[in-house]
Amino acid sequence: MLSKKMQELMNNQIQAEFYSAQLYLAMSVYSESENFKGFAHWLKVQYQEETSHGMKFLEHIVERGGEVELKSIDAPPVKFGSMLKLFEEVLAHEKKVTAMINNLYEAALKEKDYASQIFLQWFISEQVEEEANAAEIVAQLKMIGEKSVGGLFQLDHALGHRKG
């Protein structure tokens, strides 16, 4: 049985994961509107991943006999500036999600919720990957520079091949 504390925290995480999905979808639409179809594709894949993360939390709550509470999600921004600024925001957002996952794990430790500790280990590993991917793109965009159209075109093309 899932404790009320863990249930509440996981319901908050569902909200955060679905907000993340909406944020990445908004970023994808923005990238598409700026004619960066590869960046848009990468962000659509990210949207799908975040949706699946929210569903994993939802299923965990149900499997543990808890009650799912779907909370409202704030609308994400619609403009993001340059691709560098956009991906700096992606990286900052992933760091925020990492902190939330870490806090969940700490709560699971305090609650002696061993099943949730095991469940959350996957998310801890996933966040290492998420941050590394975003940091790599930020670093590449910084190397390319804001005015290097050729470099942006090549990176846009490369990101368009991300598998879902």
pLDDT tens, position by position, 38-61: 999 999 999 999 999 999 999 999
What ranges do the domains of the chain cover? 4-159
Query: What's the whole-number mean pLDDT along residues 77-100?
Result: 97
Task: State both tokens at 25.
Answer: 């979808």
Q: Is the pLDDT of residue 164 over 80?
A: no
pLDDT at position 146: 73
Query: What's the whole-number mean pLDDT along residues 126-146?
Result: 95
pLDDT tens, position by position, 7-23: 999 999 999 999 999 99
Q: Domain 4-159, what fold?
A: Ferritin (1.20.1260)
User: pLDDT tier at 159 (50, 70, 90 boundaries)?
Assistant: very high
Q: Is the pLDDT of residue 125 over 90?
A: yes
